[in-house]
Amino acid sequence: MSLSPEQRQELIRLLEAGEDISPEWARVLFPPEKREYELVYHGKDPEGDIISDTLAVPLQPVRTFGRNGENWHNMLIFGDNLQVMKTLLEMKKAGRLCNADGTPGVRLIYIDPPFATKQDFRGTEDQKAYQDKLKGAVFIEFLRKRLILLRELLADDGTIYVHMDFRKAHYIKVILDELFWGFEFAEVMWLCGLMGSGKFFPKAHETIFCYKSTKGNFNPPPRLGYSERITGALQKDKDGWFYTRGRESSGGSNYLKTYICNNPRLSKEEAIREATKNRPQTAWSVWIGKEDLAHKFNDYPVGTYAYTEHEKVGYPTQKPEPLLERIINASSEKGDIVLDAFPGSGTTMAVAEKLRRRWIGIDCGKLAIYTIQKRMLNLRREIGNKGPKLDPKPFSLYNAGLYDFSKLKELPWQDWRFFALQLFQCRDEQHKIGGIEFDGYRKGASVMVFKHMEAKHKDARITEDTIQEIHEAVGSRVGNRVFIIAPALTFDFQQDYIDFDKVRYYALRIPYSIIHELHRREFTALKQPSDEMAVNDTVEAVGFDFIRTPELKYRTGTEKAKGELFEYGFIKIETFKSDAVVREPFKKKGNLETLSMVMLDFDYDERAKVFDLDEVHYASDIEKDGWKVRFLKDRISKKMMAVFLDIYGNEARVLIDAAEFGKGTGKDAPKKNRKKK
Ligand SMILES: C[S@@+](CC[C@H](N)C(=O)[O-])C[C@H]1O[C@@H](n2cnc3c(N)ncnc32)[C@H](O)[C@@H]1O
């Protein structure tokens, strides 16, 4: 350590004054070893802890679209990706996450995570504040944790692409180098269109970091064909062969002929096609002009991300399909698993489907999940979403971390048992102690999943006497902790645990009552955004919860304000209250503070029962409108489904008849007071 006299004095002053020592001192006090460098920041956890501390959450199937055909189902998962990836990792270890060629693990990962914290968007007002840097470190660690799990999920010959922009790309590059050591690296500058306020240099590109395992495959983009300049100038000789004429490439002054194909019977178009096909160089090693190459690979029209009208689904930060087409074609084959752990509008899923890959998408936003569901059910065959309709291969929608207890109750015993063991992180391993059957282990202690469905246990309750009976049979041979899992109503006592001699019997209730003593971290909710800016926020949910339908009262009506051309329908929200176990402090705004957004499907199909998202209204806008959700009356056909989402991911759904908005009656709608059905 080489402190200057001034530094020494400053340090002594800080210590004596009892002031905080800022992290900048770390490098001075503990200089890194000379041969290594790494990104050091507050809160960087050891890799091993990240993997072992992450809770694997069971996947609860919600619905399967399409017929169950093969042994693989594409997966769309609602949940925090960190916890879900831990579950997928267990599937990989169990051989249940395989590419079509049998290789375990994911062949290609593309992620486009939120680029930055809200602070980064706030401009100069407090850019230098330490608080911001701290938020930055939280963001980096948020992503690093996920990158560690992603690396574990990757097949031995896999490739990962990480999409970033200037705000955090440089930090994340250093982290990626730490994590993907030994991989081949390429940096892709994606020209995404000019963006900016006009007050400073615009943003013109985003960065995609690509790390390919040395065993991995890479399919270079095929050659692009002749430029228009060349095809326009093609000539035919007397024998019917097409050729170009150009100066010697050595710079000499002779004009030379270059024949493009040796079949004189072909038309010009056929000859061009043949010539392109038979010369398998990569796109960047060919003779076409740089300008053509740039047009093919850069999506550079001015404006946000340059996706076309056909593919636009109205989700902020949506990326264009041709970008994902290049990535998926370059680093995977048909039947390979493509994973996007931040899919947003589902561009990766849509393109993976078109290119016949297997896919998994995990998003913690309900808006994203409904957007992807709709997108997958309305796919067109061509990239850019044009051409004939494409029916997707079957895919299943899962909940992970927020469960529907009513569906759980209906599970057959074996499925219930499996879910219960997974929920509480137990190893499935049946064993007997003192004649009593146990189902597995949780951190070394025996676990019993109470057979509440068995006829002999029907309506049975777990009382203190039941526990005592178990204790008398197993005695101290069972160790000092035992876990009993059962539906909450089965337990006849309120305590989290009961002690007999030196053995503690824990009651693990479903739906869950959080026993803080058992968890290293507080549970937090799958937070949903209440304004459009927040759609791109990082979300970190820990643990799990059960769906609790919010209380909803509303009234419907129609109105046409002065000077307005069209008549609007509206839903005025009068009461909206949520009751989630895991919650964070929030600002109170009457009874409506837990509303996140209202999503509308104007022509709900009651037979198919698929919510087909048409419009989203964020709580921040609804509040500005006096808690009214307003929409063009003419958009409704017979029935409208409205989904009221709370900030914890719970939904209150209502099906509203078009007649309530005066449709089909010829009259104006009567104002009605309603409660959730
Ligand atoms: C930039 S958007 C992705 C856009 C996407 N590439 C597209 O083409 O539409 C990032 C997404 O990450 C999701 N997200 C943020 N934190 C997450 C988490 N912890 N787990 C899963 N998804 C998360 C957000 O809900 C958002 O949909």
Q: Determine the distance from the C-alpha atom of residue 194 to the mean position of all C-alpha atoms in its chain, rounded to a whole number.
A: 26
Q: Are 562 and 665 in contact (CB under 8 A)?
A: no
pLDDT at 666: 47
Residues 323 and 281: their CA atoms lie apart, in Å, by: 21
- Cα 536 to averaged position of ligand 1 atoms, centre (Å): 7
Mutate to test the pocket of ligand 1, among 364, 371, 376, 402 (most ligand atoms within 8 A of CB): 364
pLDDT at 407: 81
Mutate to test the pocket of ligand 1, among 363, 376, 402 (most ligand atoms within 8 A of CB): 363
pLDDT tier at 460, thresholds 50, 70, 90: confident
292-316 per-position pLDDT tens digit: 666 767 776 666 676 778 888 888 8
pLDDT at 248: 73
Tell me the average pLDDT of the chain: 84
Tokens representing 306? 């340059």
Residues 469 and 467: their CA atoms lie apart, in Å, by: 5
Residues 470 and 473: their CA atoms lie apart, in Å, by: 5
123-151 per-position pLDDT tens digit: 333 334 444 555 788 889 999 999 999 99
336 has pLDDT over 50: yes
pLDDT at 533: 67
Q: Distance of CA 424 to CAs 429, 485, 515, Å?
A: 14, 9, 11
Percent of the chain beyond pLDDT 90?
A: 42
Largest CA distance in the chain: 105
3-state helix, strand, coil in the chain (%, to 5): 30, 30, 45
Tell me if 54 CB under 6 Å of ligand 1.
no
- Cα 340 to averaged position of ligand 1 atoms, centre (Å): 9
pLDDT at 478: 87
Q: Which of 403, 264, 383 is nearest to 323 (CA)?
A: 383
376 has pLDDT over 50: yes
Q: Are 32 and 38 in contact (CB under 8 A)?
A: yes
- Atom of ligand 1 lying closest to residue 315 CA: 9
Contacts of 49 (CB under 8 A, 6+ apart): none
Tell me if 641 CB under 6 Å of ligand 1.
no
Tell me if 307 CB under 6 Å of ligand 1.
no
- Cα 364 to averaged position of ligand 1 atoms, centre (Å): 7
Q: Which of 530, 508, 294, 492 is nearest to 421 (CA)?
A: 508
Between 117 and 497, where is the model more confident? 497
- Cα 373 to averaged position of ligand 1 atoms, centre (Å): 15
Tell me if 112 CB under 6 Å of ligand 1.
yes
Residues 513 and 501: their CA atoms lie apart, in Å, by: 25
Three-state DSSP state, 6: helix
Tell me if 594 CB under 6 Å of ligand 1.
no
pLDDT at 591: 79
| Range of lowest pLDDT (90-99, 452-461, 570-579) | 452-461
Tell me if 365 CB under 6 Å of ligand 1.
yes
Within 10 angstroms of residue 447's Cβ, the number of other Cβ atoms is 26
Q: Are 563 and 496 in contact (CB under 8 A)?
A: no
Residue position matching structure tokens 């090693």: 285
Q: Whose CA is nearest to atom 5 of ligand 1?
A: 344
Tell me if 536 CB under 6 Å of ligand 1.
yes
Cis peptide before 511 (omega within 30 of 0): yes
Is residue 607 classed exposed, middle or buried when 0-12, 13-18 and 19+ CB atoms within 10 A define those classes? exposed
Within 10 angstroms of residue 593's Cβ, the number of other Cβ atoms is 17
Phi, psi of 506 (to 5 degrees): -90, 140
Tell me if 342 CB under 6 Å of ligand 1.
yes
Residues 550 and 541: their CA atoms lie apart, in Å, by: 20
Contacts of 423 (CB under 8 A, 6+ apart): 57, 58, 485, 510, 512, 544
Residues 507 and 489: their CA atoms lie apart, in Å, by: 11
204-243 per-position pLDDT tens digit: 889 999 999 999 999 987 766 777 778 888 999 998 999 9
pLDDT at 125: 39
Residue position matching structure tokens 């507080």: 522
Tell me if 320 CB under 6 Å of ligand 1.
no
Tell me if 73 CB under 6 Å of ligand 1.
no
In total, the chain counts a number of residues equal to 677
Between 401 and 357, where is the model more confident? 357
- Cα 349 to averaged position of ligand 1 atoms, centre (Å): 13
- Cα 220 to averaged position of ligand 1 atoms, centre (Å): 28
pLDDT at 128: 40
pLDDT at 120: 46
Strands 551-559 and 672-675, bridge-based pairing: antiparallel
Q: Distance of CA 75 to CAs 171, 359, 659, Å?
A: 31, 7, 38
* DSSP H or E run through 51: helix 47-53
- Cα 209 to averaged position of ligand 1 atoms, centre (Å): 17
629-676 per-position pLDDT tens digit: 999 998 998 999 999 998 888 889 999 999 998 876 544 444 445 555
Tell me if 368 CB under 6 Å of ligand 1.
yes
536 has pLDDT over 70: no
Q: Whose CA is nearest to atom 15 of ligand 1?
A: 538
334 has pLDDT over 80: yes
Three-state DSSP state, 659: helix
Residues 570 and 615: their CA atoms lie apart, in Å, by: 13
> Strand order in 203-212's β-sheet?
60-65, 395-399, 74-78, 358-363, 337-340, 106-111, 154-164, 203-212, 184-195
Tell me if 347 CB under 6 Å of ligand 1.
yes
- Cα 372 to averaged position of ligand 1 atoms, centre (Å): 12
- Cα 102 to averaged position of ligand 1 atoms, centre (Å): 29
Contacts of 500 (CB under 8 A, 6+ apart): 467, 468, 471
Tell me if 596 CB under 6 Å of ligand 1.
no
Residues 159 and 601: their CA atoms lie apart, in Å, by: 38
Residues 567 and 559: their CA atoms lie apart, in Å, by: 6
Q: Are 482 and 518 in contact (CB under 8 A)?
A: no
User: Residues 20-31: what's their mean pLDDT?
Assistant: 76
Between 421 and 285, where is the model more confident? 421
Residues 259 and 234: their CA atoms lie apart, in Å, by: 9
- Atom of ligand 1 lying closest to residue 324 CA: 8
Tell me if 345 CB under 6 Å of ligand 1.
yes
Q: Determine the distance from the C-alpha atom of residue 63 to the mean position of all C-alpha atoms in its chain, rounded to a whole number.
A: 18
Residue position matching structure tokens 């831990």: 86
User: Residues 42-60: what's their mean pLDDT?
Assistant: 86
Residues 424 and 510: their CA atoms lie apart, in Å, by: 10
pLDDT at 292: 65
Residues 376 and 365: their CA atoms lie apart, in Å, by: 17
Paired with 656 in beta bridges are 640
| Range of lowest pLDDT (170-184, 241-255, 482-496) | 241-255
Residues 109 and 359: their CA atoms lie apart, in Å, by: 10
Tell me if 344 CB under 6 Å of ligand 1.
yes
Tell me if 399 CB under 6 Å of ligand 1.
no
Contacts of 501 (CB under 8 A, 6+ apart): 471, 476
Residues 78 and 94: their CA atoms lie apart, in Å, by: 22
- Atom of ligand 1 lying closest to residue 342 CA: 12
pLDDT tier at 244, thresholds 50, 70, 90: confident
Calculate ∠ Cα 229-231-233, nearest 5°.
70
Burial state string for 272-281 with b = 16 or more CB within 10 A and e = fewer than 16: bebbbeeeee
Residues 654 and 665: their CA atoms lie apart, in Å, by: 21
- Cα 163 to averaged position of ligand 1 atoms, centre (Å): 12
- Cα 49 to averaged position of ligand 1 atoms, centre (Å): 25
